Amino acid sequence: MPSISDQNPIDSKPHFQLIDESLFRSTQEQALHSPRKRSNHNFHELTEVYQRFLNVLTKGTYVQPHRHKQVPKPETFLALKGELGFLLFDEEGNITDQFRISSQGPNFGIDLQPGVWHSLVCLTDVCVCFEGKSGPYNPNTDKEFASFAPPEGDPKVEEVLRKWEGLFVI
């Protein structure tokens, strides 16, 4: 953790933060205790124009398909540890593309243009991703959830999640 002497004199934010195993572990602990089975560690303030954060996912998390169109936002995902299945959808909810994203490659990440319906499934016990997208963050306009998939907490989520995970069985 940066010391006080490493802080920016203009504000109280440190000039840097190392992305290390300790940060992975602490964010993973939060994810493991979260009902959503995932947790973020933000490097940004919500008002900043560039959002950058770790997204730690654990097996069984469900991410309802969504897109960033109302306020157009490109988005980048990079796997730093573990593996995930990344899904792209058309307007009717049909899967148009599926990619295995892994810290071991050959696909290390994906960059999406604004307005692309997407979701992901965690294929390892834990997957640590780095995400970047345009800000600022406003929960009312950040994302549009797809009506073609169940919302979090819906009883149909387990069935959908198993189907999506099955797409990546080798």
Domain-located, residue 23: yes
Element (H, E) at 25: helix 21-32
The CATH number of residue 54's host domain is 2.60.120.10
**Nearest one of 56, 54, 43 to 14, comparing CA atoms:** 43
pTM of the prediction? 0.88
Domain-located, residue 20: yes
Domain-located, residue 3: no
Q: In terms of DSSP bridges, do strands 75-81 and 126-134 run parallel, antiparallel, or are they unpaired?
A: antiparallel
Cβ neighbour number for residue 148 with a 10 Å cutoff = 14
Q: How far is it, in rounded angstroms, from Cα 132 to Cα 76?
A: 5
Domain-located, residue 8: no
Tally of domains within the chain: 1
Domain-located, residue 5: no
Residue 124's pLDDT band (cuts 50, 70, 90) = very high
Phi/psi of residue 161, each to 5°?
Answer: -60, -45
Please determine, for residue 80, whether its predicted confidence score (pLDDT) is greater than 80: yes
Domain of 44 in residue numbering reads as 15-166
Position 1 scores a pLDDT of 46
Domain-located, residue 92: yes
Domain-located, residue 126: yes
Domain-located, residue 6: no
| Percentage of the residues of the chain whose pLDDT score is greater than 70 | 93
